[in-house]
Each structure stands twice: as C-alpha cells, then as structure tokens.
Amino acid sequence: MQSSANPASPAISRLSVRVAALLTAVLLVLPPGLVAYVWLAPEQIVNWGGVAMADFPPRPLEGVAFLAVAGVLLVYAGPVVWGFWELRALFRGYARGEIFCPSAAVRLRHCALAMVALAVAGPVTTVALSLALSVGLPEGSRHVVIGIHGEDLGFAIIGLAVLVIARVLGEAARLARENAEFV
C-alpha cells in the first residue's frame, strides 16, 4: 500500500531494488554456503567464536560430526535468514513506495527481533558447536564451551534499539494515516 503523502523518491526506489536483489542473492547462497564451508574448510570451524578457546584439533569432519556441525551452523543461521528475509521485504516495500506505513514498521520490527534472536543464538551455538566438534574425539579431548561474546551483546543492543525505532515508525505511520483522513 503506497502512501500518497510519502511516496518513495526515484533514488530511494532504485537503491531499494538493488538492496533487495543483493539480499535475495545472500539468502540463496547462505545455507548451501555454510554447508560447503563445513565440508571444504572443516579445520577453520575450530576457530569459530568461543570454541577457539577449547583448542580443538583441526581435522576433517566426517559422518555424524559433519552433520552435527553443519546442523548447528544452519540453526544458528536461522535468525540471520529470517532477518534478511524481512529486510528484503522491507526494501521491496520501499521500492513500491511503502515508506511510512504499518507494513514497513512490522518488517523493521521483525528485523529487530531477528537480531535479538541472533544474540540469544550466539551463546547457545557456542555450546552446541563445542559438543558437535567433540563428536568422535577420544575421551579427554572433548570440551563444552560456554560463553557470551561482545558481538552477542552488540546484536542484542542494536536489535533492541531497532525495535524501538520500529515502534516509532509504526506510530509515525498511524499519525500519517490520521492526518490523511483529515484532509
């Protein structure tokens, strides 16, 4: 629904189309890219986030260990995929002129919630990934890593800030609709 009071400028429309196309490409590449990463560079996984502290030996991941690590990273990517999907929808709406409207506020709210979910997923993923990397290792080489990192706190704070901005945008959309009814 295009707001007649606030149509998108041609520059906003063009930029929004490009950003939406970029997000579409990322959404198509991200899940298979993560699986390819686990398959092609398993020795790098031991350096991911907090699991690096456990000093797991770099090794090829096979069978259950490969499936466990790939599964953990795909679950961790869930909030990222959701956030990018909503961001894509937001920019597609901007391209259509849906700037100050309830749907833009809802999409921005969903992006914010995805960031907060990612903040929660970070520490959970660290634990799950350390367990997955322990699969197939001899006793004494297995580790469980628990930790909260700066990026987790950053995602939470930015997500909460964007959540407030989304509420403000929703209120602006409501006021714009009210003002349009008076005219």
Q: Is residue 160 part of a domain?
A: yes
Q: Is residue 33 part of a domain?
A: yes
Q: Is residue 1 part of a domain?
A: no
Q: Is residue 106 part of a domain?
A: yes
Q: What is the pLDDT of residue 5?
A: 40
Query: Does position 172 have pLDDT exceeding 80, yes or no?
Result: yes
Mean pLDDT of the chain: 90
Total domains in the chain come to: 1
Q: Is residue 2 part of a domain?
A: no
Query: If pLDDT is split at 50, 70 and 90, which confidence band does 2 have?
Result: very low
Long-range CB contacts (< 8 A, 24+ apart) of 42-50?
A: 42/66, 42/69, 45/69, 45/129, 45/133, 46/133, 48/129, 49/122, 49/125, 49/126, 49/129, 49/149, 50/123, 50/126, 50/130, 50/145, 50/146, 50/147, 50/149
Q: Is residue 108 part of a domain?
A: yes
Closest CA to 132 of 144, 150, 120, 141: 144
Query: pLDDT, tens digit, for every residue of 66-104?
Result: 999 999 999 999 999 999 999 999 999 999 999 888 999
Q: Is residue 3 part of a domain?
A: no
Burial of 111 by CB count in 10 Å (0-12 exposed, 13-18 middle, 19+ buried)? buried
Query: If pLDDT is split at 50, 70 and 90, which confidence band does 6 have?
Result: low
Contacts of 14 (CB under 8 A, 6+ apart): none
* Contact (Cβ atoms closer than 8 angstroms) between residue 103 and residue 1: yes
Query: pLDDT, tens digit, for every residue of 41-74?
Result: 988 888 888 888 888 888 888 899 999 999 999 9
Q: Is residue 155 part of a domain?
A: yes
Q: What is the pLDDT of residue 142?
A: 86
Mean of pLDDT values over 3-20:
80
Burial of 150 by CB count in 10 Å (0-12 exposed, 13-18 middle, 19+ buried)? exposed
Query: If pLDDT is split at 50, 70 and 90, which confidence band does 112 have?
Result: very high
Query: If pLDDT is split at 50, 70 and 90, which confidence band does 181 have?
Result: confident
| Residue 24, domain extent | 10-182
Mean of pLDDT values over 22-43:
95
Query: If pLDDT is split at 50, 70 and 90, which confidence band does 140 have?
Result: confident
